[in-house]
Structure 1
Amino acid sequence: AFWSGKLSESCSARRGFSFSGRAANMGGLFSYFRGLLGNREMRILILGLDGAGKTTILYRLQVGEVVTTIPTIGFNVEQVTYKNLKFQVWDLGGQTSIRPYWRCYYSNTDAIIYVVDSADKDRIGISKDELLYMLREDELASAILVVLANKQDMEGCMSVTEVHQALGLEALKNRTFQIFKTSATKGEGLDQAMDWLANALQSRK
């Protein structure tokens, strides 16, 4: 199923969201995690600044193709249920006014996919600050981190090494993480990232 909604005024008011729904294809995500999770629902957050490509990545993974998206003012949720497998991905908006509400969704998160616009050199410092601030949260202490250096097809973009350095990833301690270069519009690099994440989750069973 598919849901979208607006962010509430406080974390405690989350149950006040209104949802709309439609049937959705299980798509590529299920193929990565089939047989992996048993009867446990795995929770993944897709985070990053606005315009980084989060929603494009979500639906590229979900349906295997690029779909037309608009800026996410709130969140999108894709959930797949098949036999004993439940897998849920939350795509949260990245605008300045929305980022303070990310923490409302940290509880019980198994992995974070953090998307960076490799062509947005002016805001890479903000992206770093948001990432490091988020990773200080106790609720995310054990969450696996996947960083996607997205928009690698854009002329003049930072390399994956430059993004790694700009985000200060070398300073991360006691965190299972990896960074991948991706192009969401072309679908490049996403398979490798999801394969790595699947293996990382598998190792925790």
Structure 2
Amino acid sequence: MGTSFTKLNLENRPPILILSYFDSLVGPNPFKFHPENLKESFKAEILQNIASHMDVHRENDLFQICYGNEKINAINLIFSIHSEWARGMREICMVTLVDVGCHNLIDTYRPYLMHFTKLINKIDNGFKGFYVNNVSKLKIHPEIRDINEKINNLIYDFYDSLPKVMFGKQKMQLGIFGLHHSGKMTILNRIQKNKLHGKYAVIQNINIVEMVLRGTKFLIYSPPESLTPLDLIEICAKTDVIVFVIDGTDTEKFPRIQQLLFEMLNARSTQKTPIVILNNKIDKTECKKQPEIIHLLNLSKIKRDHWQIFDVSALSGQGLDLALDWIIREYLNLQKRIEDSAEAP
């Protein structure tokens, strides 16, 4: 079984939203598809295959399907809405976001899918909209068409509310900082192995990588340690998320790490910027673990909501997936807050 995206530019293709429901006559049915003009990029059997997973999962299940050969990811949430016409007084539905790649995107898309289920449950008699193709029901209940249109409008509005970075219209600017031999470049190289597209350049001794990863565009800066703190802070101010890499085995450098880290954190220009600390070389027995790092670097004094620390290994990749999940999720949430504040009256 397969599908083709040959008509699309994978790098720029936005996520695709599918709304399915369990039809009492035909079973799982892919009911709505948005954007509609991208539907032709799917073969019918792939749509049906996605919907068919309603047969093997329960309500409130959040799960991911990866079609590896096609590099297609489908993140799905099964839910129900009250129904006076369905068995058990509820319609079983599933909302799906389809993206490029086979990375774990569940945590990234979870809040958006859950929000969608709350919105659709607020439509009065929303269940009737699923019967728009039922001729006998339409004759008796002409309001079905209006309710179906409300579902369409909800899908359009919800889709438009997704952070624009999901649509390839923006790039997340990520700054990777740390002392010499902390493993910055090894981590960058490890990330690049999992990229979808990538470009590499060195400008004024700053390594710059552009890539698409997990459906998100990245522009990654990795400046040398030789830059002055003011220069580093200036670069920090241009980034959307700060990544600070430390060598958890080299305790002699901890005072310098603490000084540099808090200089970045205390700069006025970085106060709202999420920061993630990567405690690298966790594969070595002498590496300090996360609780020790928090104590030794006095990280409990960080006065901001959006920060996190992860134990990672640049060599094996351990912990990097969790860190990337956090980075993307924080950035999407940040962009959503910015967009909401811009639209507020």
- Kindly report which structure 2 residues correspond to 1:45-194, keeping only aligned pairs within 5 A, or say none: 45-64=175-194, 74-80=205-211, 86-94=217-225, 97-100=226-229, 101-194=231-324
Q: CA deviation at 1:202?
A: 2.0
Report which of the two structures shows the higher radius of gyration computed on alpha carbons: 2
Change (3 A) 1:86 1:155: closer
User: How big is each residue's C-alpha offset from its partner over 1:33-69, in whole Å with a ceiling of 9 and x where there is no partner?
Assistant: 898613122111000111100011111111249xxxx
- Partner of 2:259, secondary structure, is helix
Distance 1:58 1:195 in 2: 16
Matched ranges for 1:20-35 at <5 A: none
Give the equivalent residue in structure 2 for 1:202: 332
Question: For 2:299 and 2:253, how far apart are their aligned partners in 1?
Answer: 16
Across the two proteins, how many residue pairs are aligned to each other?
167
Cα RMSD of the aligned pairs, angstroms, is: 2.7
Task: Look up the equivalent residue of 1:158 and give its one-letter code.
Answer: K
Kindly indicate whether the alpha-carbon contact (under 8 Å) linking 2:205 and 2:224 is maintained by their aligned counterparts in 1: yes
Rounded to whole Å, the distance in 2 between the matches of 1:81 and 1:158 is 32
1:43 and 2:173 are equivalent in the alignment: yes
Residue aligned with 1:185, SS: coil
Quote how far apart the aligned CAs of 1:98 are. Answer: 2.3
SS in structure 2 at match of 1:164 = helix
Q: Which amino acid aligns with 2:287?
A: C
Are the structure 2 counterparts of residues 201 and 104 from structure 1 closer, same or farther at C-alpha, using a change threshold of 3 Å?
closer
Structure 1 segments unaligned to the other structure (5+ residues): 1-27, 66-72
% same residue = 29
Gaps of 5+ in 2: 1-100, 110-161, 196-203, 337-345
Q: Give per-residue Cα distances to partners, 1:74-128, cap 9 Å, x unaligned.
A: 321111369x96420101112xx32433123123321011101000010111101
Looking at secondary structure, tell me which structure has more helix per residue.
2
Matching residue's letter, 1:168: N
* Residue equivalent to 2:124: none
Normalised to the residue count of structure 1, the TM-score between the two structures is 0.72
- Structure 1 SS opposite 2:283: coil
